[in-house]
Amino acid sequence: MAGVRRVFIVAGEASGDKLGKAVMSGLKSLLPDVEFAGVGGPLMEAEGLASIFPMNELSVMGLAEVLPKYRALLRRKDETVTAALAFEPDILLTIDSPDFCKRVAKDVRAANPAIRTIHYVAPSVWAWRPKRAAKLAEFTDKVLTLLPFEPDLMQAAGMEAEFVGHPV
């Protein structure tokens, strides 16, 4: 993690908030001067993140929940991309919430390919949609995986991948 000073972090649900808190805590112990910006919940805020909007606005699932909030979600995605680019991070770290995070990472990569993108919690490409890994590789440099067999699948799609273990 040499040279990392600024991390823009995005979590969109309670499980991601928990993982994000652990990442922030760990990075602060390794890099005392690290700065964070992004979107997170109360656990990440307790670690010092000033979320650019309430994370719970992203916690929607299923077509019935998403459709009425679609325009608001697009606005939040655009706000997140704008904030990430303005922050000029060394790393964009997206956590789970694949639909929202994928769109943010894709737009950030298009605007500034120099920002290294890491996604935490590999999509379940082994269970469904195997081509999803190849699409993720278009705008993701590295994936942190929860299951030990996932790195091989991500690496085959063209990304660095590292097994970090499941929090339980």
Q: Poorest-confidence range of 3-12, 23-32, 65-74, 145-154?
A: 65-74
Residue 58 is predicted with a pLDDT of: 84
Vertex 118: Cα angle to 29 and 25 (nearest 5): 20
Domain extent listing, the chain: 6-94
User: Is residue 165 pLDDT above 90, yes or no?
Assistant: no
Residue 94 pLDDT grade (very low, low, confident, very high; cuts 50, 70, 90): very high
pLDDT tier at 63, thresholds 50, 70, 90: low
What would the two tokens of residue 112 be? 């500034």
Question: What's the pLDDT score for residue 102?
Answer: 92
**Residue 35: enclosing H or E segment and its boundaries?**
strand 35-39
Q: How confident is the model at residue 82 (pLDDT cuts 50, 70, 90)?
A: very high
What integer pLDDT is reported at residue 133 of this predicted model?
Answer: 80
